[in-house]
């Protein structure tokens, strides 16, 4: 019965996600308020400053959003540094501290405070005993506030065995960890993200800070497995010693679709509908953040829009942008002076003639810098003779050696004497003493 129930629930979730994806692909009207803003940030500059037109920008509803690469490059931002509520996305930091301070087979016990926190829960009861891993699943899959309190109390006590308020100790550690990650606009006041009634306060974060947290969380194999898991059950031992199961429904309706490998939702009246997610297509991993969207479906539509916008503007270009060939049929990148002679050059190609670079097409033009080695003596095919560096908007995107694609011998004694005589005349006539190096290839166009 478990498996059938779980299958039915998972099917409903996938269906909801599928509807979002179909609506997006079909160009269905978005929720009122969705908009394209040329004040949005693309790779560090506003779209206006880059000359990016509206048709090349994402049409999303959220007031705060971000797309960040695995290396920390921010490709898109809307209100990315504005301090806002993030609701249950708070639990990403709770998960980070948990895996950093615990072994997954350690046992935790559910307190009265955890069992009675209410709102979104994993169904835990006072006195239940379960492993840290099971509590982590309860935290991240159904967004259990009860699991958040359980872990905060347990980890807080581990951080400071003498503490009289383990949850407060844990929250302090959350804020310290956020600062170490580089989060500059984040303040946590509890481990779950509730921001109303008894939990009302000044807790806040930013889209950029959330992306940093998601990036850090996805470095941990346990968290990666949990947020990607379709296992909707955890096993616990009740206060009476009997074992029982808790069913869990993931709130990530995009899980497994179009490269989605995990995510964390959050929803309160003040925060709106929020979602941070991780995507990986063909090894290119990104993290997206949607804060303060208008509905559950819209936050997922916004996410899909951002993801497709990013991947649609990733383009692959050949580093060897040249029509000329060497005698061996390879791309002719440059003719490099063989300095022992006055009139000879060496044809240079790429160490990998078929090498490509992947760039983001909206990040600006690609520039090329070719450097030449001092070639004296004998040069053999395959010898390094220089290098080529491609940059986009000042950031390196590719560096590769240039190699000789022809043999070149140094002068024999008689030839050396003739070269000396030739150079004497060249000095008198103020002519170059050796052939000038020449770059043939151009920077790739995007």
Identify the pLDDT of residue 233: 87
Q: Give the CA count within 13 Å in the CB-facing half-sphere of 130.
A: 29
Residue 428 CA, distance from chain mean position: 60
Query: What is the 3-state composition of the chain as percent helix, strand, coil, each rounded to the nearest 5?
Result: 35, 25, 40
Identify the pLDDT of residue 249: 85
Profile the chain (446 residues) by mean pLDDT over runs of 10 residues: 39 46 40 74 96 95 97 97 98 98 98 94 95 97 96 98 98 98 98 96 97 98 94 89 89 96 98 98 97 97 98 96 96 96 96 96 96 95 98 94 96 90 90 93 93
Which one of the listed residues 91, 111, 293, 391 is annotated catalytic?
A: 91
Other CB atoms within 10 A of residue 79 CB:
21
Cβ contacts of 115 within 8 Å, gap of 6 or more: 124, 125, 126, 128, 146
Q: Tokens for 163, please give them.
A: 């503490």
Work out whether strand 129-131 and strand 107-109 pair parallel, antiparallel, or are unpaired: antiparallel
Report which of 403, 334, 404 is spatially closest to residue 369, judged by C-alpha positions: 334
Annotated binding site for substrate: 264
> Has 143 been annotated as catalytic?
yes
Asked if 212 contacts 179 with a C-beta cutoff of 8 angstroms, the reply is no
Which one of the listed residues 85, 111, 120, 143 is annotated catalytic?
A: 143
Residue 219's SS3 state is coil
Asked if 132 contacts 108 with a C-beta cutoff of 8 angstroms, the reply is yes
Report which of 172, 173, 153, 102 is spatially closest to residue 131, judged by C-alpha positions: 102
> Has 111 been annotated as catalytic?
no
Q: 438 has which bridge partners?
A: 335
> Has 88 been annotated as catalytic?
yes
* Rounded distance between C-alpha atoms, residue 272 and residue 148, angstroms: 20
Asked if 143 contacts 264 with a C-beta cutoff of 8 angstroms, the reply is yes
Q: Tokens for 240, please give them.
A: 């009476």
Report which of 56, 62, 24 is spatially closest to residue 38, judged by C-alpha positions: 56
Q: Give the CA count within 13 Å in the CB-facing half-sphere of 312.
A: 10
Asked if 406 contacts 326 with a C-beta cutoff of 8 angstroms, the reply is yes
Q: Tokens for 410, please give them.
A: 């140094």
Q: Which domains does the chain have, with CATH numbers?
A: 45-313 (3.40.710.10), 334-439 (2.60.410)
pLDDT tens per residue across span 139-151: 999 999 999 999 9
Identify the pLDDT of residue 402: 98
Cβ contacts of 221 within 8 Å, gap of 6 or more: none
Annotated binding site: 264
Compute the C-alpha angle 213/217/223, nearest 5°: 150
Other CB atoms within 10 A of residue 172 CB:
16
């Amino acid at each position: 019965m478990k498996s059938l129930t779980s299958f039915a629930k998972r099917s409903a979730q996938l269906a909801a996600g599928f509807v979002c994806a179909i609506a997006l692909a079909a160009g269905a009207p978005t929720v009122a308020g969705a908009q394209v803003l040329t004040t949005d940030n693309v790779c560090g500059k506003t779209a206006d400053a880059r000359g990016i037109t509206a048709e090349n920008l994402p049409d999303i509803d959220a007031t705060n959003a971000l797309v960040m690469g695995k290396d920390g490059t921010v490709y898109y931002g809307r209100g990315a540094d504005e301090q806002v509520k993030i609701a249950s996305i708070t639990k990403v930091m709770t998960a980070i501290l948990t895996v950093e301070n615990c072994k997954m087979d350690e046992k935790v016990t559910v307190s009265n405070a955890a069992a009675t926190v209410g709102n979104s829960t994993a169904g835990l009861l006072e006195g239940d005993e379960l492993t840290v891993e099971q509590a982590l699943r309860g935290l991240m899959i159904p967004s259990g506030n009860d699991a958040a309190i359980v872990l905060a109390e347990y980890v807080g006590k581990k951080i400071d065995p003498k503490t009289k308020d383990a949850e407060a100790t844990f929250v302090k550690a959350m804020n310290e960890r956020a600062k170490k990650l580089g989060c500059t606009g984040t303040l946590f006041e509890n481990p779950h993200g509730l921001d109303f009634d008894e939990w009302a306060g000044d807790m806040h974060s930013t889209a950029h800070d959330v992306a940093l947290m998601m990036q850090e969380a996805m470095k941990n194999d346990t968290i990666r497995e949990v947020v990607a898991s379709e296992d909707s059950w955890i096993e616990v031992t009740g206060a009476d010693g009997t074992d029982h199961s808790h069913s869990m429904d993931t709130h990530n309706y995009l899980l497994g679709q179009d490269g989605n490998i995990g995510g964390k939702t959050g929803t309160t009246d003040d925060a709106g509908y929020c979602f941070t997610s991780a995507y990986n297509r063909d090894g290119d991993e990104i993290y997206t953040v949607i804060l303060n969207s208008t509905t559950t479906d819209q936050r997922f539509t916004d996410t899909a829009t951002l993801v497709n916008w990013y991947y649609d503007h990733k383009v692959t270009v050949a580093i060897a942008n040249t029509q000329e060939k060497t005698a061996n049929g390879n791309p002719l990148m440059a003719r490099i002076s063989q300095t022992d002679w006055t009139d000879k050059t060496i044809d240079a190609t790429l160490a990998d003639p078929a090498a490509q670079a992947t760039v983001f097409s909206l990040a600006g033009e690609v520039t090329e810098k070719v450097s030449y080695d001092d070639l004296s003596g004998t040069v053999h095919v395959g010898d390094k003779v220089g290098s080529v560096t491609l940059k986009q908007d000042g950031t390196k995107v590719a560096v590769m050696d240039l190699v000789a694609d022809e043999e070149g011998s140094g002068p024999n004694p008689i030839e050396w004497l003739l070269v000396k005589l030739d150079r004497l005349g060249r000095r008198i006539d103020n002519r170059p003493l050796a052939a000038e190096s020449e770059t043939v290839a151009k920077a790739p166009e995007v």
